[in-house]
Amino acid sequence: MAELVYDKTGRLLFTKEMKKEYTILLPMMAKIHFTIIKNVFLHYGYKAELLETEGPEIAQVGLKYVHNDTCYPAILAIGQFIHALQSGKYDVEHTALMITQTGGGCRASNYIHLLRKALVKAGFEKVPVISLNMSGLEKNSGFKITIPMLRRIAAGGLYGDLIMNLDNQVKPYEINKGDSAALIEKWTNKLTDILASGHGFTRKELAENLDSIAKDYSEIKIKRTPKVKVGIVGEIYVKYSSLGNNDLEKFLYDQDCEVNLPGILGFAMFKVDNRLEDYKLYGGSKAKYIVVKKLMDYLTDLETLVINSQVKYGFRPITRYEHTKSLVKGIVGYGSKMGEGWLLTGEMLELVECGFENIVCTQPFGCLPNHINGKGMIRKIKQHDDRANIVAIDYDPGAPRVNQENRIKLMLAVAKENLNKSESTNEAGKNTKPTPIKVKPIKKTEATV
């Protein structure tokens, strides 16, 4: 039985012994991504388990242990953990929790602390919490993030982004309902095996697997019909988590829409890029800048891989981060980095540009960065491009689903009207096929990482 060890500040550590004995619970956010990424932890010998619980009890448990004015994602993520610990399904003396920590100026950096407070309140103060972060916060002897591990996590995220994106492109048009869903299952299983055995993360393997995924999707029989195209942006948790957004993706699908959710890779690149922007805006260490720039190049290369596979099989490629970034120029500054920062504005502009001018901007009630870059920018975006048809939706434990859906339906009614108009005036307008982008493999980056 592992001993409980605390650091100087009184934080309960996750020790090497615990690594052997403990099950680590991970909270759910983007289902496809997280299901794949979980396997990276398995490969490194952690007994990781992803929480797939749902239902209204989770929010209720969260409300009981977290300050009710805190962001909804914190209430849900923490509620999900405590709900699991209370369920009797886990041996609480051999269970640890893992949560991400971004270290930015938003409240989200505090989730881990709120989680610990909640654990004490709920009588689980002996359950260790591991911080998953890239800022060197909170070290644990039993859990180390290494560069090879990060590469594998990045690979998992990349697969998730592609599968989610292709599913969204294909599902609304598939002739045999369920084809796309079957591919999700096939590939999550396959990637589970690949990643759990430590493979699937080198540039070569990535390119191959991404290609195979795109190929599989290209073989699904589809029938194109005009559909309302809706983009989803927002605070990252409520954007992706069906628990957080009342299954928004499905709701839109049921309303006969094609959905587009910009991927997680863009968010990761944004967080890395912030360090470069900070250097440019305020000064700092040049050496650090160079290292971070390398990382940025690495991620850009991964982005290229996804785009290549998509283009090769005739899909609409994801928008390049650099392009999204160029769109916000003159609208909001690159220094606006807390939470989703300017990227949120950028994604709305990107969506409008690529034909998804109908947008649901999701945010937890009272989300601070969203006041700025979500609701705060809608007017400017419309001024920039009057096709934009944006509805901002607040999510919180008390916001009734019917009110949210009613507001979304208003947006959809306007969208349908626009669709009918463009259908009648622009019958001949056909999509031009995008040409594949030529890419040089960035060997150097590969070598340094």
Partner 1 sequence: MQERVNTCMIRIGLDIGSTTVKCVALDENNNILYKTYERHFSQITSKISELLQKVRRELPQADSALVAMSGSAGMGIADACGIDFIQEVYATRVAANTFIPNTDVVIELGGEDAKILFLSGGMEVRMNGSCAGGTGAFIDQMATLLNVPIEELDGLAAQHEKIYTIASRCGVFAKTDIQPLLNQGAKKTDIAASIFMAVVNQTIAGLAQGREIKGNIVYLGGPLTFIPQLRLGFDKVLKTTGICPENSLYYVSMGAALCAEKSVDLDKVIEKISTYKGSGNFAFNKPLFRNKQELDEFRQRHSRATVKKGELKDYKNEVYIGIDAGSTTVKGVAAAKDGTLLYSEYLPNSGNPVPIVKDFLTHIYRINPDIKIAGSAVTGYGEEIIKNAFSVDIGVVETIAHLTAAKSFMPDVEFIIDIGGQDIKCFKIRNGVIDNIFLNEACSSGCGSFLQTFANALGYTSEQFAELGLLAKQPVDLGSRCTVFMNSSVKQAQKDGATIEDISSGLCLSVVKNALYKVIRVASPSELGKKIVVQGGTFLNDAVLRAFEQEMGTDVIRPEISGLMGAYGAALYAKQMCKGNKSTILDMKQLESFRHEIRSVNCGGCSNNCRLTVNTFSDGRKFIAGNRCERPVTKKSPDDSLNIYQYKLKLLKDYKAEKGKRGRIGIPLGLNMFEMLPFWHTFLTKLGFEVVVSPFSNRKLYLHGQHTIPSDTVCFPAKLMHGHVQWLLDNGLKNIFYPCMSYNFDEHLGDNHYNCPVVAYYPEVIFANVKEIENIKFFHEFAGVHRPKDFPKKMCAELQKYYSDITLKEVKEASKAAYKEYDEYLAKIRAFGDEIIEKAEKQGKNIIVLAGRPYHADPEINHGIDKLITSFDVAIVSEDVVSRYESKVNTGVLNQWTYHSRMYAAAEYVSRHNNMNLVQLVSFGCGVDAITTDEVRAILERNGRIYTQIKIDEITNLGAVKIRLRSLLATMESKNR
Q: Tell me how far, at minimum, the Cβ of 234 lies from partner 1, in Å.
A: 14
178-189 as b/e: b if 16+ CB within 10 A: ebbeebbeebbe
Cα–Cα distance, 289 to 142 (Å, whole number):
30
* Nearer Cβ to partner 1 (324/404): 404
Q: Looking at 58-66, 154-162, 222-230, 426-434, which segment touches partner 1 (CB under 8 A)?
A: 58-66
Mind spelling out the 3-state secondary structure of 109-155?
HHHHHHHHHHHHHCCCCCCCEEEECCCCCCCECCECCCHHHHHHHHH
Strand order in the sheet with 129-132: 47-50, 23-26, 95-100, 129-132
Residue (198 or 376) nearer to partner 1, CB? 376
| 437 contact partners, CB below 8 Å, separation of at least 6 | 304, 307, 308, 311, 317
Nearer to partner 1, 172 or 341 (CB): 341
Residue 64 touches partner 1, criterion: CB under 8 A: yes
Site for partner 1, residues 304 to 363, rule: CB under 8 A? 331-333, 335-339
Question: What angle in degrees, to the nearest 10, is found between the helix axes of 264-282 and 147-170?
Answer: 120
For partner 1, the binding residue among 14, 22, 34, 65 (CB under 8 A) is 65
Number of residues that bind partner 1 (CB under 8 A): 71
Report 95-114 residues binding partner 1 (CB under 8 A): 105-107, 109-110, 113-114
The binder of partner 1 chosen from 77, 84, 295, 372 (CB under 8 A)? 372
Cβ 165 to partner 1, closest distance in Å? 29
Smallest separation, CB 65 to partner 1 (Å): 6
Contact 231, 360 (CB under 8 A): yes
Tell the smallest beta-carbon distance from residue 68 to partner 1 (Å). 5
CB atoms under 10 Å from CB of 42, counted, come to 16
In this chain, which of 283, 286, 430, 431 binds partner 1, going by CB under 8 A?
283
Helix ranges (H only) for 11-133 are 16-21, 31-43, 56-65, 72-86, 111-121
316-349 per-residue burial string, b: 16 or more CB within 10 A, e: under 16: bbbbbbeebbebbeebbebebbbbbbbbbbbbbb
Q: Distance between CA 6 and CA 412 in Å, rounded? A: 53
Nearer to partner 1, 188 or 404 (CB): 404
Residue in 117, 199, 227, 294 binding partner 1, rule: CB under 8 A: 117
Least CB distance to partner 1 at residue 16 (A): 26
**Interaction mask 375-414, partner 1, x per CB under 8 A:** xxxxxx-x---x-----x-x-xxxxxxxxxxxx-xx-xxx
Q: Does 68 bind partner 1 (CB under 8 A)?
A: yes
User: Which of these ranges, 20-28, 84-92, 281-289, 304-312, lies near partner 1 under the rule CB under 8 A?
Assistant: 281-289
